[in-house]
Each structure stands twice: as structure tokens, then as C-alpha cells.
Amino acid sequence: MKKLRIGTSGLEVSEVSLGCMRIGGMEPAALDKLITTSLDAGIDFYDHADIYGGGKCEEVFAKSIARLNVDRHKLILQSKCGIRSGFFDFSKEHILDSADRILKRLDTDYLDILLLHRPDTLIEPDEVAEAFNTLHESGKVRNFGVSNFNPGQIELLQASLPMKLQVNQLQFSITNTGMIDRGIASNMKHANSIDHDGGILDYCRLKKITIQAWSPFQFGFFEGVFIDHPKFPELNKVLDEICEKYGVTKTGMAIAWIQRHPARIQSVVGTTNFDRVQQVADACKIELSRPDWYAIYRAAGNILP
């Protein structure tokens, strides 16, 4: 498994992360197998959030790590806070309280990275800075980032912070390519050229903020998986052809396609199936050619000007 650097943090981590949003209801043996397979494949990065399974996902993860006797220091643990029932909350009190609860559930005394989950329009950047400072100085959180933020929102928060934001987690998959469409269609009049995110891809590259791709197998907003879905006949036909050429599965190719982008995006893979984790790890060994990368992009329904 290739490594990538998280922002300017000095953390060198696996280019694929295991997303833990769906593990809450897994049988202990199946979860142990999932984690063992990911570790054996070189995946050392685990993505959580306080709301996943209402906290259950963090708890069962910690239990599995204990059962498997995995050294905490070999893992990179990331979690998120700021989404509450019916509102977003970046208040100092909520961030501090959330971090303590996350640490307790994960049964650890530090988080490698804490993200603010979704932009809270009532954000007071100085208040967030106080919370981050307290967490950093106490050793509870080593690095910070955001999720689903645009460049203006990052600039606003960053201006109050003494530490650099290192991560922005964004929705990205072969069928959710908003952040690259506008660049490819730049200066054209069709819909792909519309700017929905303020140029977040180029902004993060310039500022050395690592983009993490959430829901890399999904289309729409949790509508389903595009692989073998009747809504995407052309994409699946082209994927079949290209996968045969490289000797990987479509599940693997979905991630190899993201990893081919030079922005060094980290994929956050949410499968609970250990065999799919292995397919992803196998596919990350390939180097997808430029024509094949664009062929997959076009087959997903995108046009090149």
C-alpha cells in the first residue's frame, strides 16, 4: 500500500483509509477479520465520527483493536464532531465535550486528527481556536481538519487558528466528480462548468491540505453503489473492459481511479466486507494510464469540451 503525507503534518499514512461509519452492527468476528485484512494490506488509517452508529462504531472498533492486541501507536485514528440532531455545533463547549467522548469510546488518550464534520454557519472562529488550542495543548488531539468546507470557509477559520488545517474530507467518486468537472469544463457554457465548491480541489492542492474522498463507491447522496447498477450501463461496460486489462475488480478500480489523481487524495473506503478491502489494496498497485482514466470519467456521463 502506497503512503501519502497528510497536509504538512509529517504523518505518512496509507493512501486508503478504512471508513468506520457502517461497522456498528457487525459481529465481532467479522469486524476482527475486516480490521486484520486491512492491517495486513497496509491500511493504518481509520476514519470515525462521533455520530456513526450514535457512537457505537467507535466503541466496537476499540473493542476489536483490544481483542486483536493491536498497538495503538501503529494506527492513525481520525474522528469528527459538530453534527448534532437537527443542527450543527462548532461551539467551544461542544467541541471539547465531543473530543472527550470520542477518546473514551475509542479507548485512547489521543486522536491523530479531529475534523469538523460539516460547516456550521453560526461558527465563531475564535471560539473554535480556543477549543483546538485546549485539545492540542492537553495532547488529546495532534492535528486538525475539516470536512465539506469550501475555500472561503477554510480561510475564515484558518485566520483564527495557530495550527494549520491539514485535511478536508469531501464527497468524491467516479460518479461524484463535482470538484474536477468545473476545471475540465472551464470557460464553457455547459452545466459542468458551474462552480459549486469555490475551486476546492485546486485550493487544497495549493494550500497542501489533504483531500479525503468519502463514499467512493456511491452515486448521488447515498443513493446506491454505481458498480453493476442498471443506472450506469456505459460506465460498467467500460469498467469491465479496463478492469480486465489491468487484472483488477471494479471495486478495486473505483479506488485506483481516485488514487491516480495527482492531488494525492486519500480514499475513505466504507465497505464492511474484508474481501472488498483486499480487492482495493490489490488495485492500488496498478498505474492507470491517462487515456484509461479519462475513458472512465467520460463513461460516467461527463463530456470533454
Ligand X SMILES: NC(=O)c1ccc[n+]([C@@H]2O[C@H](COP(=O)([O-])OP(=O)(O)OC[C@H]3O[C@@H](n4cnc5c(N)ncnc54)[C@H](OP(=O)(O)O)[C@@H]3O)[C@@H](O)[C@H]2O)c1
The set of catalytic residues is 52
Among 144, 172, 276, 284, binds ligand X (CB under 6 A): 276
CB of 227 to ligand X, least distance (A): 4
**Exposure class string for 98-117: b at 16+ Cβ within 10 A, else e:** bbeebbebbebeebbbbbbb
CB of 267 to ligand X, least distance (A): 8
The reply on whether position 30 binds ligand X by CB under 6 A is: no
- Greatest Cα-to-Cα distance within the chain, rounded to the nearest angstrom: 56
The reply on whether position 283 binds ligand X by CB under 6 A is: no
Question: In this complex, which beta carbon is closest to ligand X, that of residue 46 or of residue 203?
Answer: 46
CB of 24 to ligand X, least distance (A): 11
- The three-state secondary structure class of 250 is helix
Stretch that binds ligand X, among 154-162, 181-189, 203-211, 263-271 (CB under 6 A): 263-271
Pair 15, 216: CB distance under 8 Å = no
The reply on whether position 145 binds ligand X by CB under 6 A is: no
Among 271, 281, 284, 299, binds ligand X (CB under 6 A): 271
CB of 215 to ligand X, least distance (A): 4
Question: In this complex, which beta carbon is closest to ligand X, that of residue 203 or of residue 217?
Answer: 217
Class of residue 253 by CB neighbours under 10 A (exposed 0-12, middle 13-18, buried 19+) = buried
Pair 79, 111: CB distance under 8 Å = yes
Segment 149 to 188, residues that bind ligand X, using CB under 6 A: 169
Among 138, 186, 273, 289, binds ligand X (CB under 6 A): 273
The reply on whether position 300 binds ligand X by CB under 6 A is: no
Q: How far is the C-alpha of 149 from the C-alpha of 169, rounded, in Å?
A: 8
The reply on whether position 64 binds ligand X by CB under 6 A is: no
DSSP state of 174: T
Q: By rule CB under 6 A, what string of x and - marks binding of each residue 238-257 to ligand X?
A: -------------x------
The reply on whether position 14 binds ligand X by CB under 6 A is: no
Kindly give the residue spans of alpha helices, DSSP state H, lying in the chain: 28-40, 56-67, 92-106, 125-137, 151-158, 178-184, 200-207, 233-246, 250-259, 274-283, 290-299
- The three-state secondary structure class of 171 is strand
CB of 169 to ligand X, least distance (A): 4
Instruction: Residue 97: count other Cβ atoms within 10 Å of its Cβ.
Output: 15
Q: How far is the C-alpha of 38 from the C-alpha of 222, rounded, in Å?
A: 23
Question: In this complex, which beta carbon is closest to ligand X, that of residue 242 or of residue 269?
Answer: 269
Q: What cell was used for 4? A: 501519502
Segment 201 to 230, residues that bind ligand X, using CB under 6 A: 214-218, 225, 227
The reply on whether position 90 binds ligand X by CB under 6 A is: no
* Conformation bin of residue 107: beta by default, left when phi > 0, alpha when psi is -120 to 50: left
CB of 270 to ligand X, least distance (A): 2
Q: Under the rule (CB under 6 A), what is the footprint of ligand X?
A: 19-22, 47, 147-148, 169, 214-218, 225, 227, 251, 268-273, 276
